[in-house]
Amino acid sequence: MSSGNMLKNGQFFIIYEHDDAFVLEDKTKRNLTVLERSMDERYGVEAEKGIIYDADGRGYKVSIRLHFPKERYRLEDVVAVAKSIDEFYRRLMEETCPD
């Protein structure tokens, strides 16, 4: 979807402007099919969601893109969320893929 103006690009995220929102896209989930658009429970913003399956075949709804309304969030707020996502994936890589 990233048809807006890109503002920040990290290892695991992209932030861009789209209409009246800052959109935070999780790069690790960007090839998932969007199945619904609903509220993200963690951040309280609208999200495009898809499903990831674990090794046992259980499906989990995950947010692919989070839409932070500009009227409630500044770019710095969205960057802080993006950095926490980036840090989570870095730690996960260190734990699961040691040198």
Domain that holds residue 28: 5-96
How much is the pLDDT for 94?
86
HEC letters along 12-78: CEEEEEECCEEEEEEHHHCCCCCCEEEECCCCCCEEEEEEEECCCCCEEEEEEEEEEECCCCCHHHH
How much is the pLDDT for 97?
81
Please tell me the total count of domains within the chain: 1
pLDDT tens per residue across all 99 residues of the chain: 556 789 999 999 999 999 899 999 999 998 999 999 999 999 999 999 999 999 999 999 999 999 999 999 999 999 999 999 999 999 988 888 876
49/59 Cα distance (integer angstroms)? 12
